[in-house]
Amino acid sequence: MVQFQRCWLKNLILQSPYCRGVLPSRESSIPEFAFCLLFGHRRAGYSTTSGILGVRERTLVAVKPDGVQRRLVGQITQRFEQKGFKLVGLKMLQAPEEQLSQHYHELRRKPFYPSLLHYMTSGPIVVMVWEGYNVVRTSRIMIGDTNPVEAQAGTVRGDFSIHISRNVVHASDSVEGAQREIQLWFHRKELMDWDCCDHSSTYQI
Ligand code: TYD
């Protein structure tokens, strides 16, 4: 039944001239939009406050042990706040090796994997969840290239790091990856749903 509704809504949306200017061109956004019509705005990342699709996208950002040791937590956090993103989760912890091995699961066969785990468990980290329009992609741009040698000045890694093995910060590299990482590092009740008072200065209502 849901499948039929989705299909019907997709066709309806694609044929509607009204929607052509409203929806992002990405084909993958259609099910999300149809889903939000079927099951409600908040569930599908569609803000009832702003009416902008994707405004509730979330990503995981972590200040790594070198960033914490060098007292860069404030400056890194400030960049995301200044940009206009909304902080919805924050905590400091000594990362358990088991959790890190899940986090870096895809890199487990890389030669640098053992030293990466050793470094990531060498001291506390600060994990955060940021929310906002296009936050996953924008955060990756803000932190810069994995290798600080390639990272542009003005990015976190470009400004605060020299070597790939100590690149200060992590940010999820895809929407799916962000969802997985947020679930890995945060319990649901640790994430705050709150309304920013300057929302209309950040988004068109
Ligand atoms: P990766 O997921 O490829 O990059 P990113 O953090 O930009 O998503 O790699 C994870 C971390 O592994 C990276 O931030 C630093 C470390 N790393 C090394 O130490 N040496 C390397 O050659 C690479 C590619 C990564």
| Per-residue pLDDT reduced to its tens digit, 127-169 | 999 999 999 999 999 999 999 999 999 999 999 999 999 999 9
Average pLDDT of every residue of the chain: 83
Q: In this predicted model, what pLDDT tens digit does every residue of 78-90 receive, in sequence order?
A: 999 999 999 999 9
140 is in an annotated binding site: yes
189 is in an annotated binding site: no
Query: What are the structural domains, with CATH classification, of the chain?
Result: 2-39 (no CATH), 58-190 (3.30.70.141)
119 lines ligand 1 (CB under 6 A): no
165: CB partners within 8 A, 6+ apart:
112, 115, 116, 119
Each residue's pLDDT, cut to its tens digit, for the chain (205 residues) gives 445 555 454 454 444 433 333 333 333 444 444 444 443 444 434 444 456 778 999 999 999 999 999 999 999 999 999 999 999 999 999 999 999 999 999 999 999 999 999 999 999 999 999 999 999 999 999 999 999 999 999 999 999 999 999 999 999 999 999 999 999 999 999 999 999 998 888 888 6
**Nearest of 176, 175, 186 to residue 62 by alpha carbon:** 186
Ligand 1 atom closest to residue 173's alpha carbon, by position in its atom list: 8
Active-site residues, by number, are 170
**Nearest of 76, 77, 84 to residue 159 by alpha carbon:** 76
170 lines ligand 1 (CB under 6 A): yes
Helical packing angle, 2-15 and 29-39, nearest 10°:
120
99 alpha carbon – ligand 1 mean position (Å): 17
106: CB partners within 8 A, 6+ apart:
none
Phi, psi of 59 (to 5 degrees): -140, 160
Best residue among 63, 105, 116 to mutate for probing ligand 1, ranked by most atoms within 8 Å of CB:
116
